[in-house]
Structure 1
């Protein structure tokens, strides 16, 4: 019996890798279910004939490449074992519903071709692919310019496969005569996850990256550190994590980072680190109190300017030379751990009250200097830390737009600087691209996944009021704000999947301006989330961004298509569950079983 188990797997290393799974003969079964693809491809044509089975003796041949090998092993297993049965049948099918006649062949061979096997996983890499499942014969073809395009095609191929309606056993089926030509609309399709305020286990991060790959998203923006904790172990600055983390068991090692980066490549997901500075750095003070100002103080002291937007306060002191010694060591270590050419350097939310609390900075300001000069000194001095590693620096747009402290845009060359915009919508994004910057759209009003979950600050008596007696129905960060109407969530309301889906990040721009918007990211700031709830916070809402960034959010008539996408999104949510992702429900199950009967307007 043991010998039989070992004989099932045969891996042959030749000019191409061949993976074969040997089992019994296939048999033909009927199909009466639709195909639901997410994100929907840019171009797809369907054959008129019945589906065919996927042979259990499926061969996949492909060029020798370490990351591609891991991806093929994963997706081949998924193709043969997922046994997906769609939850509902669309009233407007995306593929023909077929009555099967006996076919004399099944899909036995997937042939993969890559034109540029050496192209690395970096921003702008070609992710296009062509997939053809033949009208006749048993060989499907997947062709792409790069390995990363192949991985996108493997995801699509996997979603084409399903079980016949009403059947839970037997062999899966696939439409034949299918031709797909696909590529992303935006090069940057990402998710920011904050691991400082609450810690996420490595497996939580790996699962999140895998889900990103399933949604053809290609960026995991890892907001690693913040004021609350410094959970990353660094060889040259070990005290930062040893003293600034939440303690043993709440630290990411070099080995952890390597595992996360390697896993990301399996799914075509880049891992971009963010070390936010000079703000959001109170956690550094545990190791180096001399370089952090206003630490160990209450964040909103009575009668003076606030020290932070939220606890705990602390910002690096740009006037202290020691600051740059420590910061350079941090950048050097982090740059060596993450191969991506992007490095996010933060630079958002400088709080003047904190810097003003420093005697050094008070003296500097009395000498007719400004807060802008202090931030400029930090940015100008630290930029070489990134460029020495050939990194393109990403900053939050605050660095040039903040009313608190900002840098002259001429000092941040657009050729080596990308700005991430988190407020002001497409109008602000437009103003940034008009200055020549490439921009990542992450506007709080559409793309913040932590909004709408209520207040997390304790002892806030401003929430102790009648909802109906709160005429403004608003809440600001400050204790003086009102908040009964929104439960104290500063960025309420909750951002639904359709709100995320329908947002146009290039609205009002010319075609040339829109080219500088490289894509978008949804953001999960983790004051109220950790690994226990991360799946439901992220999915399937993040999938909405995945499709809008991959193939757009409008149909052929130019109309927003979130209504049309509801059936596919509902089905995709259940498929994510099958794949081990705890995505939250979007509608009652009745709505899934009665297509478009839960629409508010009858348009289909």
Structure 2
């Protein structure tokens, strides 16, 4: 009989057209990109995330040889640009080093010699911080066979930072183990100006290195706002030099504190990645952290029919942690405290919280009732109105603009017209509406003329089995709005990661790449990003890219990431 050739299957297939032509299966480059039961178009290597607004792609590759390739810029003396170029160089070299020397050979590809980065506006580039409505427009042109030189143009340094990130994602290793980039043209800008990620460092302290790693991941996904819910009832890790008792009595321990030096480092780290840092100090509720050091700030709450005051248990918020709105001391204290915050943080905005104000506490206090009588108030919402007006005026005097959660408006409180409102309630029963969805809240609030940021459909601390990123991808902040003038009032949205069950051990894996779905929805054209079946292959590629860059992003499909498997070197795969 005839000896069976190696690789002969058993049982014998019904139809088998065999050959003796072999392919090399290199685990450093070979991976399964499409499952048999998957629909959609597999993403070609070098596919960026989020998807650019205009992307003319090709399959024509240029060789990137580190011996000849270089990037120049008219802004090399700008530290933000220089750092961005340095990060790109590190990324370039890390990929190149992964290619074994003995696998390289003389390439037949044309080498791309250079890319010039031209930034139109570079004034104050060494002192500027990202702010609301920054221009992030950029263009990338790597011509098709017509030149060995590419170019990037950006209006501002923030657009340049986004362009360099996109360029880093266009680079890939081809089948011949060559570092290449395809000829391409990209014109890109964000759909929304506010694209945020919120972290909660009160319920569980988040180590500084985890926050910095998350800022890296945010930059890989073109997020531009770090909303830092830094304190709450559970702990007060923010160092105040004016009121040191706040951390002495409110932090979990002396080790669970963000010093002002730590905070400055985080702000600068974010700045170099084009990310704003907006702190949140929630008031008048969620203030037990303040009250541990300064109990005189809080309203005394009483139980039903009981004349003895009580305090809330640590794991149950909103019962005895609400500021006293009646006394000048509260506002004087907060003015001094927020002035210190203003001197430390660089953004125009501070988040004042103002969610979940526990009316039952105010209702239980006879002094609050007397206060209402003195001011001819008939509803507790008028007490909240009084507090809100005084607090916002205080913040404006300091030089801050403010953001709040939607709760004051839900309670009938009138806010200053320039207040930004975050819609966070997935369901809310409004007394005059039968529609209780977050979309109805957006319609109602923009209908009153307020600018809105949406987070209701992006609470990523809620987890579920399977590919739950898809529901985040389907959410659109303006889909329920028909009028363009109302759509213009939606500034964007943010992914929220509350910390009841999240700390440094699981934050990054739980957040990424699920937050990447939010990133593309906030950056890209919704008309070009409505196919989940195709998006998942691009997202899977992006997940592997984040893994290689040190972010332990969890999988969304079966398979593996070639040589970039987490906690395994190439020899182990």
Per the normalisation by structure 2, the TM-score is 0.80
Q: For 1:427 and 1:85, locate their aligned partners in 2 and report how far apart those are by CA, in whole Å.
A: 51
Cα deviation for residue 361 of structure 1 reads 1.5
Determine which of 540, 557, 570 is the counterpart of 1:587.
Answer: 557
Moved more, 369-378 or 223-232: 369-378
Matches of 1:165 and 1:224 in 2, distance apart? 47
Q: Measure the CA separation in 2 of the matches of 1:552 and 1:293.
A: 48
Aligned match for 1:35, one of 46, 59, 63: 46
Match of 1:505 among 477, 481, 487: 477
- Which of 419, 424, 427 is the matching residue for 2:421? 419
Distance 2:492 2:276 in 1: 14
Q: Distance in 2 between matches of 1:513 and 1:497?
A: 27
Contact kept, 8 Å, 2:331 with 2:394, in 1: the verdict is: no
How big is the alpha-carbon RMSD for the aligned residues of Structure 1 and Structure 2? 2.9
How far, CA to CA, are the matches of 2:164 and 2:347 in structure 1?
A: 23
Aligned length: 489
SS of match in other structure, 1:193: strand
* Equivalent residue runs for 1:132-147 within 5 Å: 132-135=141-144, 136-147=146-157
Contact 1:113 1:143 in 2 (8 A): yes
Q: CA deviation at 1:590?
A: 8.2
1:84–1:586 distance in 2 versus 1, CA, 3 Å: farther
Residue by residue over 1:76-116, the C-alpha shift from the partner in whole angstroms, topping out at 9 and shown as x without a partner, is 21122235999xxxxxxxxxxxxx9823x422322111111
Give the whole-Å Cα distance in 2 for the aligned partners of 1:283 and 1:264. Answer: 26
Once residues 242 and 59 of structure 1 are traced to their aligned partners in structure 2, the CA distance between those partners, rounded to angstroms, is 52
1:199 aligns with 2:212: no
Distance in 2 (CA, whole Å) between partners of 1:101 and 1:298 is 80
Aligned to 2:450: 437
Following superposition of structure 1 onto structure 2, how do residues 144-543 of structure 1 map, counting pairs within 5 Å? Answer: 144-165=154-175, 167=177, 171-176=178-183, 178-294=184-300, 311-312=316-317, 313-365=320-372, 369=377, 370-402=379-411, 406-407=412-413, 409=414, 412-414=415-417, 416-423=418-425, 424-443=437-456, 446-452=457-463, 496-509=468-481, 510-543=483-516
Unpaired segments of 5 or more residues in structure 1?
A: 1-28, 87-99, 454-492, 593-604
Distance 1:344 1:314, change over 3 A: same
Q: In structure 2, how many angstroms separate the alpha carbons of the residues matched to 1:305 and 1:237?
A: 25
Question: 1:132 offset after TM fit, Å?
Answer: 1.0
Contact map agreement 1:221 1:274 (CA 8 A) in 2: yes
Relative to structure 1, is the Cα distance of residues 124 and 85 closer, same or farther in structure 2, using a 3 angstrom cutoff? farther
Indicate the residue corresponding to 1:112 in structure 2: 117
- 1:478 is aligned to none
Deviation at 1:418, TM superposition (A): 0.6
Matches within 5 A, 1:54-73: 54-62=65-73, 63=75, 64-73=77-86
Kept in 1: contact 2:297–2:329 (CA 8 A): yes
User: Structure 2 vs 1, CA of residues 582 and 225 (structure 1 numbering), >3 Å: closer, same or farther?
Assistant: same
Q: Distance in 2 between matches of 1:494 and 1:394?
A: 34
Counterpart-to-counterpart distance in 1, 2:264 and 2:255: 17
Superimposed CA distance per residue, residues 561-589 of structure 1 (whole angstroms, 9 cap, x where no aligned partner): 22220100111111111111111111221
Cα offset, 1:335, TM superposition: 1.2
- For 2:82 and 2:57, the matched residues in 1 are separated by 29
Distance (whole Å) between structure 1 residues aligned to residue 455 and residue 555 of structure 2: 24
SS in 2 for 1:222: strand
Deviation at 1:222?
A: 0.4
- Residues 375-403 of structure 1 show CA distances to partners (whole Å, capped at 9, x for unaligned) of 1222111223321343221011111113x
Alignment match, 2:103: none
Alpha-carbon distance between aligned partners in 2 of 1:575 and 1:439, rounded to the nearest angstrom: 33
CA distances 1:113-151 after superposition (whole Å, capped 9, x unpaired): 111113751111110100111333332211100000001
- CA 1:359–1:250: 2 relative to 1, 3 Å: farther
Give the one of 519, 536, 556 matched to 1:566. Answer: 536
**What runs of 5+ residues in structure 2 fail to find an aligned partner?**
1-28, 30-42, 100-105, 426-436, 563-573
Q: What is the CA–CA distance in structure 1 between the aligned matches of 2:86 and 2:204, rounded to whole Å?
A: 33
- Asked if the contact 1:293/1:357 (under 8 Å) is kept, the reply is no
Aligned 8 A contact 2:92 2:168 in 1: yes
Native 8 Å contact 2:226 2:275 kept in 1: yes
For residue 73 of structure 1, report the CA deviation from its aligned partner. Answer: 1.0
**Which segments of structure 1 move beyond 6 Å, counting only runs of 4 or more?**
304-309
TM (norm. structure 1) is 0.76
Distance 1:591 1:55, change over 3 A: closer
Query: How many Å apart are 1:495 and its aligned residue?
Result: 8.7
Contact 1:85 1:164 in 2 (8 A): no
Q: CA deviation at 1:51?
A: 3.2
- Aligned counterpart, 1:12: none
Distance apart, 1:554 and its partner CA: 3.5
Q: 1:389 & 1:147 partners in 2: Cα distance?
A: 29
Q: Does 1:126 align with 2:135?
A: yes
Distance change >3 Å, CA 590–CA 384, structure 1 → 2: closer
